[in-house]
């Protein structure tokens, strides 16, 4: 009978040790999670979230799309104004690490193309204005 009691107490001790190790693992996990959260918040720029809670990458994505649209429009009208604006917006979007890198690069290329078209038209006509009628 004594052996059965001592065997049960050993099993209880083993269960207690297992539960303690589970608690230790859970505590270690919580500490690691909190450290990872602190590292993420330290890496994030202070202006990363605006008052509405929007991350900066969303703003950079908007800049990338806007530079693409303005660069495309600049090929048709007002390339002297829209070309440089498209270039600046694309560079800002790329500097802010946009997820829409392709659109930002297209906006940059189209902005440069706007200025090239302007330069070609100015050298042909001698004026900044131009028309499609020829």
Q: What pTM, to 2 d.p., does this model score?
A: 0.56
| 16-74: pLDDT as tens digits | 556 566 666 666 666 556 565 554 444 445 444 444 545 668 888 999 999 999 999 99
For residues 90-95, average pLDDT: 94
* pLDDT number for residue 17: 59
CB burial string 43-64: b at 16+ within 10 A, e below:
eeeeeeeeeeeeebeebbbebb
* pLDDT number for residue 5: 52
* pLDDT number for residue 94: 93
Per-residue pLDDT for 91 more than 60?
Answer: yes
H-helix or E-strand spanning residue 14 = helix 2-43
Token duo for residue 74: 């600049």
Whether residue 130 contacts residue 121, with contact meaning beta carbons closer than 8 Å, is answered with: yes
Closest CA to 60 of 83, 91, 86, 85: 91
| 103-128: pLDDT as tens digits | 999 999 999 999 999 899 888 877 77
Tally: H helices and E strands in the chain = 4, 0
pLDDT band at residue 10 using 50, 70 and 90 as cut-offs: low
């Amino acid at each position: 009978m004594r052996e059965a009691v001592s065997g049960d107490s050993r099993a209880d001790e083993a269960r207690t040790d297992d539960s303690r190790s589970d608690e230790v693992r859970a505590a270690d996990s919580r500490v690691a999670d909190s450290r990872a959260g602190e590292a993420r918040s330290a890496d994030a720029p202070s202006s990363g979230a605006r008052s509405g809670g929007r991350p900066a990458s969303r703003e950079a994505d908007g800049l990338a799309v806007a530079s693409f649209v303005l660069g495309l429009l600049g090929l048709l009208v007002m390339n002297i104004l829209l070309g440089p604006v498209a270039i600046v917006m694309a560079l800002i979007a790329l500097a802010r690490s946009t997820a829409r890198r392709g659109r930002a690069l297209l906006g940059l290329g189209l902005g440069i193309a706007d200025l090239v078209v302007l330069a070609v038209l100015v050298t042909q006509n001698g004026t900044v204005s131009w028309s499609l009628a020829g």
